[in-house]
Amino acid sequence: MTMPTLISKHQQKVLEAAFKKSYANLYNAVNLTIFELGAPNMAPDFVAYNNNEFYVSIYTKLKTIETISDKYYSTKIDLKGYTKKSIKGASPTQSQTRIGHILADGSAIGGMKNSGGWYFTIDTNGPQKGPNAYGHDLFIFVIKSAASPRLEAVDRELAHKTDDDGNSFTPDDDVYFETSGECSKTSTKLSNGFGCTPYAVKNICPDDNSKTYWECLP
């Protein structure tokens, strides 16, 4: 194999290992918090990102060592989609890339609760390591039901336009994108990558089910 191929395969292995670790840690923290506090409130209201009891319990279990602004990723990081194309100026509508906690293992996480459920976005290797791309090191999860609360992989997310400070435009100026094809090498949508989490969890390539998820990363 050529050197670029070896480097690419090594990077795939690193991202895969980081994802599996972050996913397992979040899964366990969510389940333990549900056991301790019960199912999270599903009333259609918004809650604070950092000081809500349910989120705080999870962040504590994940060993937060530093907090950053909830808008740090939307204002300071050049966020990318699945094909590693910059998506600056666009944000997933439900989860909004609210990542405000740096964890002891170098990863980062944040959450936002709204009418769609309790959302979590993880950066499996933290803000200082690349590629800071959805479907590579950024993944979205949600708890959608109080009757059967469980961590689920988000398979689709509308996107809305934001300004350089991470603020969404007024409703009349929002630009929403279709929710299909949100994890594909052929998609050109700014939302491409928002729906990659189920494929990563199942370890299936979205464009070729004969390959693993990590083998076919663009």
202 versus 168: the higher-pLDDT residue is: 202
As a whole number, mean pLDDT of residues 73-81 equals 92
pLDDT digits 0-9 by tens, 162-172: 777 667 665 65
Share of the chain above pLDDT 70, in %: 85
Q: 3-37 and 53-61 helices cross at what angle (nearest 10)? A: 130
Q: Which two tokens stand for residue 66?
A: 């530093």
| Number of other residues whose CB lies within 10 A of the CB of residue 150 | 13
pLDDT digits 0-9 by tens, 99-112: 999 999 999 999 98
AA letter at 195: G
As a whole number, mean pLDDT of residues 63-79 equals 92
| pLDDT for the residue 31 | 97
User: How much is the pTM?
Assistant: 0.92
Cα angle, residue 149 at apex, residues 143 and 153 outer, rounded to 5°: 40
Contact criterion met (CB below 8 Å) for 49 and 101: no
As a whole number, mean pLDDT of residues 57-61 equals 95
| pLDDT for the residue 152 | 97
Residue 43 above 80 pLDDT?
no
| pLDDT for the residue 7 | 60
| pLDDT for the residue 202 | 97
188: pLDDT confidence band, cut at 50, 70 and 90? confident
Mean pLDDT rounded to a whole number for the chain: 88
66: pLDDT confidence band, cut at 50, 70 and 90? very high
| pLDDT for the residue 172 | 56
Element holding 6 (H helix, E strand): helix 3-37
As a whole number, mean pLDDT of residues 18-22 equals 98
157: pLDDT confidence band, cut at 50, 70 and 90? confident
As a whole number, mean pLDDT of residues 42-49 equals 64
| pLDDT for the residue 161 | 76
As a whole number, mean pLDDT of residues 30-50 equals 80
87: left (phi over 0), alpha (psi -120 to 50) or beta: alpha
Nearest-angstrom CA–CA distance, 2 and 10: 12
Nearest-angstrom CA–CA distance, 209 and 201: 14
Q: Is the peptide bond before 131 cis (omega within 30 degrees of 0)?
A: yes
| pLDDT for the residue 134 | 97
| pLDDT for the residue 206 | 96
